Structure 1
Amino acid sequence: MAYQLGWAPPAERNSTQEPPLLSRPSTLASRRSSLGAAPVGRRPSIGPWMLHSRVSFSGLPLFQPILKTRLENTYRMGPEEGCKFNAGQVQRVLEGTLASALGTIVYSPQGSAPLAQSLAELLQSQVKEVVPLRYKLVCQVLLGQQGQQSLLVASRALWDPTSDSFASATFSNASLFAVATVHGVYFE
């Protein structure tokens, strides 16, 4: 007769054998308590493992939950009167920001990518102040070395011509040139 888990009936067990292993119910209870469930006789607590699927060894969540903002529909399909994207005003902001940020900058190939990225973020934050709400902005900056070359820049977009628009500005000094374009798309 074969027995599993080292268990033998009391009649066949002698006194020199080891005590029997834990019975199955208490083994499951100990497993539950190691996995975060409350031991038998204690009230279970609601911890971070109940709110998130992934937790660290300390029981803290591995990521912060993202709370969704619930907004009601406005059913506005276009901008209100006088609240459209003003391309002339945005172009003046672009020209002023480019001139102040790139006035004495010298072109370097290694520093052009971070400069273009920081310049795009600066232009977007400056333009947000003059553009009405509900407009999504797409800001593109092109930087290059001033030399004996020619360059053509073109862009296309699919949008509503009654509410969406764009503005573009250029800047150049002795060592570099910059072309900045901001597209304003109305968000319905």
Structure 2
Amino acid sequence: MKAFAASIALLLLGCASNAQSDSDSRGRPVHHVSPCANYNPELRVRIETNAEKMASICRADGKGDCLYTFSYGKTFVYAQPDLNDDGRIDYLIRDFSGSYGMNEVVHFLGYASCSNGTYVKVLDDFLSDVHVKDVSQGGWRNLEVSRACFDEKIGDVVSRSYLLQFDSATGTYGAPNGDRRLARYCSAYEVALPPSSAKP
């Protein structure tokens, strides 16, 4: 009976400590969502790189055509940070396979590594530059990004800086500054913002 009571006490202690680690400063529960928790095989990819920092990204199950391969020569490793502080290397990829007109932006892709060696996409946006910053409350690193959009009114390119934060509800990085109106790059809304519209 004493052994049973001790087991119950240890179990309760463990639950209490887990609740503490999964709560914010106000005691509210924080739900950590791992993008690797989604077992949809269509979302899992394998990433291979070569000496020229080119990247080949194909479905992990080998089905379908690869969207990005060495033969296309359009996708390159930009950085290999640990985005979620789990000790595994993740990828930031620059994709030059499209043409984006007068906007000086690049298609950026971010992939988080899973424990089985596959990757899932956590970032898909058009940006000019990306810098990995501090770790946010949810354990994912914030990204300081910029976009350079052509403004027809002044006939020149205007650069603006934003903050991208991981959205645990979607398992991906959200819109710049958390503003859904900025989800579409270089939109009329964005071009109307002042050049100094930096991260909040």
TM-score interval for Structure 1 and Structure 2 normalised by the shorter chain: under 0.3
Structure having the larger proportion of residues in strand = 2
Q: In proportion to residue count, which structure has more helix?
A: 1
Q: State the TM-score, normalized to the length of structure 1.
A: 0.23
Q: TM-score, normalised by structure 2?
A: 0.22
Higher relative contact order (CA 8 A, sep 6+): 1
Answer with 1 or 2: which has the greater Rg.
1
